[in-house]
Amino acid sequence: MKRLEKEVRTSVSLPQEFLEELRSNISIESIIGEYVTLKKQGTGLSGLCPFHSEKTPSFHVSSSKKLYHCFSCGNGGDSITFIIEKEGLTFIEAVKVLADKYGMTLPKLSSNPEQDKKVTLQEKILELNKLSMIHWMSQLEYNEEANTYLIERGITQETIDTFQLGFAENSWNNLRQKITDKNAFTKDEILSSGLFKENEKKTDYYDLFRQRLITPLLDIRGRVIAFGGRAIGKLEPKYLNSPETVLYIKGNHLYGLHQNKDNIRQRGFALLTEGYFDVISLYQHGVTNAIASLGTSFTEGQANTLKRFTDKVVICYDGDSAGIKASERATKMLTKVGFVVKVLILPDKRDPDEYIREFGRDTFEKRRGMAVSWFRFSVDRIMQKYDMRNATEKAKAAEEVLTIISNVSNDVEKREYFDLSMKLLRIDSSLTSSLWKKLGLEKQNIKEQELIISPSIAELKFLDLIVCKEDKRKTFIDILKNSIDLITISSALEVISDSGELDYLALEEKLTDDKDKQLIRKAIIKSDETLDQYGNDIEEELQGCIDALMKLRVENQLEQLNEQIKTATKEVTVENYAKELESLFTEQEILFKQLEVLT
């Protein structure tokens, strides 16, 4: 789920001087060292990549270049990029995190007084939320009923600490007293937090959460933005959540994402559930890639937030009719924004919390492995609506299925789903052709994939060497371009040709292809090692790369010519047979001589 860096960086306007000062202050090895165990390797540092699973370190950090690069998955950039990718933050959020860490004040991004006022209120609510969470966490150990509830569910202290669970006493003003004792918040700030409720006459206010087990909701930065409360005892409603505030918009956040985002990235998919305790119970039993949609219909905002970490989801809502309907809605939203979706319906109308507590992790994971594709789930749901033994009903089911298929944009998927649906619906093979035509695709129009030509070893070596040869960089690049027609790294060479000392971030702005960015970043990170390896022989090695590429070009031309000779021998007419072959053999002889010189 790597976002284009250029797109991220240009989404805000910060003074270039501030960004340069921030980058100069940052110790990239210290920032990355908080997430990765780094060890000295050559002139840099290496460790296991935090963006994919691996056993042999391929992740490298250059302190002098202030860059990182994974030689396996290709993820790389500077400290800001690392925080964006690792924490799932926007560019401005990542800059703020780093600025705070290094004691720098972020320049004002707005001259709008109303916006400034909103930001100030958000910061105050964050303070209130953090204070409230700490207070409720301290109260939990003293409430026997709440602790009994957690013990019965098998929730350990480690899980309680991970999710920062707390308890709100059965008091109208317990939290209010704690807050007002601080004397740090105005009445407007207190009421805007969503933690309190005014009485009918609006002359006073009281605690919203009372006699409840408290579950804080954290944003992806780990900030407390809202709370959920589960009643302990016979209290209604059973579940009570914070209202929306200037800080918290329900449809943009996912419970458990902050705690589980690294495991979601490592496992490659998220398990989407309905409730807080589904996530907590799954985590307790070792399933640490679950999130919850906060009891709301899954929204596009939540999908976009999740897409920072994965594009694969297994929906595991409650197994009752309401949960199945919610799964249908979530499926439509997730597929709409490009997720690969599977659906798991647990037996006996169970929810994930109940199921894993009764059967354990292994059985749950086996069941999860039986999740069906979103399309199979959708077809099954349609077939359950109709009497498939009745021809009219069956035709209606087929129409609904074809409507779903028609909304699939990829032609290959469309054909796969069509063929599967014909089998599931048991449509006679004599009818499939006419039904396929109803989709407007009388002929399969599957676009051929573009031929992707990877750079040769000689080209990669040339790029590694040329970044180290500032004084003659343009000369050698011109020689290469004039000698060889097709160079797969030509756009990368074009960007660095006229540059002096190579500044990766400046070069990155000029590059449009992610592959070129990876190639140049990799070469720059390796430059110290390349200099140590070749020293004064760099020019000789560069000429060797050019010779090798010229030889490769001639060999390819010779191979193509040999194919032409074979074809000509079979297909040319008697009249021009001799003339055609003579021309081809002459060209072949010229290429042989060129190859002899280059060898």
| Residue 484 CA: distances (Å) to CA of 92, 457, 546, 557, 565 | 44, 15, 9, 12, 24
**The residue to which tokens 């790029």 are assigned:** 463
Q: Residue 444's Cα: distance from chain center in Å?
A: 32
How far is 336 from 408, CA to CA, in rounded Å? Answer: 9
Token pair, residue 226, equals 């809202």
Nearest residue to 549 via CA among 470, 472, 461: 461
**The residue to which tokens 């059965």 are assigned:** 170
Helices marked H in 141-199:
144-152, 157-163, 174-182, 187-192
Q: Is the pLDDT of residue 535 over 80?
A: yes
How far is 450 from 452, CA to CA, in rounded Å? Answer: 6
How far is 195 from 241, CA to CA, in rounded Å? Answer: 10
How far is 259 from 219, CA to CA, in rounded Å? Answer: 10
What per-residue confidence (pLDDT) applies to 449?
38
Based on its alpha-carbon atoms, the radius of gyration of the chain, rounded to whole angstroms, reads 31
What per-residue confidence (pLDDT) applies to 11?
43
Average pLDDT over residues 47-62: 90
User: pLDDT tens digits for 226-254?
Assistant: 999 999 988 899 999 999 999 999 899 99
What per-residue confidence (pLDDT) applies to 43?
83
CATH-assigned architecture of domain 252-370: 3-Layer(aba) Sandwich (3.40)
Q: Is the pLDDT of residue 222 over 80?
A: yes
How far is 545 from 126, CA to CA, in rounded Å? Answer: 58
CATH class of 377-438: mainly alpha
How far is 214 from 140, CA to CA, in rounded Å? Answer: 9
Residue 512, Cβ density class (10 Å: 0-12 exposed, 13-18 middle, ≥19 buried): exposed
Q: Is 113-248 CATH 3.40.430.10?
A: no
Contacts of 465 (CB under 8 A, 6+ apart): 530, 534, 538, 541, 542, 545
The answer to whether the peptide bond before residue 237 is cis (omega within 30 degrees of 0) is yes
Average pLDDT over residues 281-307: 91
What per-residue confidence (pLDDT) applies to 456?
80
Which stretch of 152-166, 325-339, 453-467, 480-494 has the lowest confidence by average pLDDT? 480-494
CB 25 within 8 A of CB 102: yes
Residue 137, Cβ density class (10 Å: 0-12 exposed, 13-18 middle, ≥19 buried): middle
Pairing type for strands 270-273 and 290-292 reads parallel
Of how many residues is the chain composed? 599
List % helix, strand, coil for the chain (3-state, nearest 5): 55, 10, 35
User: pLDDT tens digits for 85-142?
Assistant: 988 888 888 998 999 989 998 887 766 778 778 888 999 999 999 999 999 999 999 9
| pTM of this prediction exceeds 0.85 | no
How far is 224 from 128, CA to CA, in rounded Å? Answer: 9
Contacts 24+ apart (CB under 8 A), 593-598: 594/554, 595/551, 595/554, 595/555, 595/558, 598/547, 598/550, 598/551, 598/554
What CATH number labels 5-101? 3.90.580.10
Nearest residue to 108 via CA among 36, 16, 13, 8: 13
More confident residue, 354 or 501: 354
| Helix H or strand E encompassing 433 | helix 429-438
CB atoms within 10 A of CB 9: 19
How far is 43 from 49, CA to CA, in rounded Å? Answer: 18
CB 111 within 8 A of CB 44: no
How far is 468 from 530, CA to CA, in rounded Å? Answer: 8
Average pLDDT over residues 498-521: 82
Torsion of the alpha carbons at 449, 451, 457 and 458, rounded to the nearest 10: -150
